[in-house]
Amino acid sequence: MESFNELNISKQMQYAIADLGFEKPTPIQARSFSVIMSGTDMVGIAQTGTGKTFAYMLPILQDLKFSKETNPRVLVMVPTRELVLQVVEEIEKFGKYSSIRVIGVFGGTNINRQKEAVAEGADIIVATPGRLYDLVVSRALQLKAIKKVVIDEVDVMLDLGFRFQLTNILELLPTKRQNIMFSATMTDDVNVFIHDFFIAPKTVSVAVSGTPLENISQFAYAVPNFYTKANLLKHLLQNENDFKKVLIFVPNKKSADLLFDILDEYFGSEVAVIHSNKTQNYRIRSIENFNAKKTRILVTTDVMARGLDLDQISHVINFDVPNFPENYMHRIGRTGRAEQEGTAILLYTEKEQDAKATIEGLMNLKIAKLEFPKEVEISKQLTYEEQPQVVEINNPTSAEEAGPAFHEKKAKNKKENLGGSYKRIIKQKYKKPKTRGDKNFRKNKRGK
């Protein structure tokens, strides 16, 4: 599609698009527009960077007529607070010339202030599922006017264990509504979720990961352990001219803090870290500073970085090898965007060689190995996880050896996840599906 004019959009939206300097719709935008406008449920498979926020907001805003209704008519759910802020900001840009009222709500902040904001009324509410549910339960927010619901980054939401909250919320929504979701990957969990709540959805997907691999140069260093990886990083990052804006992925919060402390001593205010244990203000400031190029180096976990629109990254450094190859693709896709060249560097230990081979298999590409620089010190120090585990004869540590002490859950504590909702059990006695989840579930049971 060559221009936004082909989409037949309102004047107000055209002005907003002109202000943003967008010339033509991205593929996901061009392909989602008519599907969402038609009112059918939609599943979009696309990553951050493909323009997916606008892909759902453009048709939604186009369809949203002025109203004095206090209760929101559109609900957008996202997995993290940062994403709430980012999406609200995007909506405000697109809705610049229309009188759209949008509010964002998320956990970790004063709920009373959010209650006041909700009471003032909004057309669109952007939320993390937990806080949204709290607002509904405390009757500060009513969902009865919701006509369209967007669930963004569904795969991350399910990974984070939000299934229960999502299910609860979806069941509180009016049955007559349009469901739209976006996911970077189509996992089994996502499939089950769609099956439970969506009605005959149309799938719109853009090329796997949407990442132009040819824009990204990939390299790997074989490194024996964590502290040597840190030494190598210190060495590489000294080169400020090349390593202009660096995103470093680590596997968990603990490694994030450990690595940050090491780099902080060396690079001071040039480096920041984000993970879920950091306060919200700290996280927001870190991302803003990184985007504004005030900090050069950002250490992050996979979950924290997903969905964030970080631009012009010169280097993605994989401090570990992700166990899921998709995560590697998501990580490196943060560089080499918008026709720019980017570099991805992978640091792998002997133990991580197999995971690296799996990733190479998926890409059908061997990552070029670089010589470990002679001037970098090889550390003998090992992290707790790297130390050989001594098993005391009478004090076995693995679950298998531990025997009966590692007992099965009691029957009453075992929960079987059938998808759909707990209400199904109660409502089954009425022999009538009361929710979409139940309907689908019953249909499947009959089909079997």
Give the residues lining the site for ligand AMP (CB under 6 A).
22, 25-26, 29, 48-54, 309
CB 345 within 8 A of CB 315: yes
Least separation in angstroms between residue 328's CB and ligand AMP is 19
Q: Is 43 left (phi over 0), alpha (psi -120 to 50) or beta?
A: beta
Query: Phi first, then psi: what are they for 258, rounded to 5°?
Result: -60, -50
CB of 203 to ligand AMP, least distance (A): 18
Pairing between strand 271-274 and 315-318? unpaired
Is the Cβ of residue 334 or residue 356 nearer to ligand AMP in the bound state? Answer: 334
How many whole angstroms separate alpha carbon 284 and alpha carbon 286? 5
> Closer CB to ligand AMP, residue 259 or residue 274?
274
DSSP helix/strand/coil, 32? helix
Residue among 88 and 173 whose Cβ is closer to ligand AMP: 88
In total, the chain counts a number of residues equal to 448
Q: How far is the CB of 42 from ligand AMP (least distance, A)?
A: 15
Distances in Å between the Cα of 162 and the Cα atoms of 77, 84, 190, 192, 358 are 11, 15, 12, 14, 29
Could you tell me the smallest distance in angstroms from the CB atom of residue 105 to ligand AMP? 20
User: Residue 309 Cβ, how far from ligand AMP at the closest point, in Å?
Assistant: 4
Least distance in Å: CB of 222 to ligand AMP? 34
CB 72 within 8 Å of CB 124: yes
The minimum distance between CB 24 and ligand AMP, in angstroms, equals 6
**Min CB(304)–ligand AMP separation in Å:** 15
Nearer to ligand AMP, 134 or 309 (CB): 309
Q: Could you tell me the two tokens for 55?
A: 């892909």
Please give the Cα distance from 383 to 296 (Å, whole number).
26
Alpha helices in 238-298 (DSSP H): 253-267, 280-291
Distance CA 394, CA 139 (A): 56
Residue 59 or 437: the one with the smaller Cβ distance to ligand AMP is 59
Q: Which tokens go with 339? A: 């026709």
Question: Measured between alpha carbons, how far is 58 from 397 in angstroms, rounded to an integer?
Answer: 55
Query: What beta strand segments (E) does 157-214 contain?
Result: 178-183, 202-205
Q: Which residues of 226-254 are buried (b: 16+ CB within 10 A; e: fewer)?
A: bbbbbbbbbebbeeeeebebbbbbbbebe
Q: How far is CA 274 from each of CA 126, 227, 346, 356, 366, rounded to the nearest angstrom?
A: 22, 20, 20, 25, 31
In 3-state terms the chain splits into helix, strand, coil percentages (rounded to 5) of 45, 15, 40
* CA–centroid distance for 55 within its chain: 16
Shortest distance (Å) from residue 336 CB to ligand AMP:
14
Residue closer to ligand AMP by CB (options 24, 244) is 24
63's enclosing H/E stretch is helix 52-63
C-beta of 7 vs 143, nearer to ligand AMP: 7
Closest contact distance (angstroms) between CB of 54 and ligand AMP is: 4
Query: In angstroms, what is the minimal distance from the CB of 150 to ligand AMP?
Result: 12
Helices (H), 333-398: 353-363
Q: State the DSSP code for 335.
A: B
Between 149 and 223, CB nearer to ligand AMP: 149
* 7/236 with CB nearer ligand AMP: 7
- Rounded CA-CA distance 271/378 in Å is 23
Compute CA 198 distance to the chain's CA centroid, rounded to the nearest angstrom: 21
Nearer to ligand AMP, 55 or 233 (CB): 55
Comparing CB distances to ligand AMP, the nearer of 47 and 421 is 47
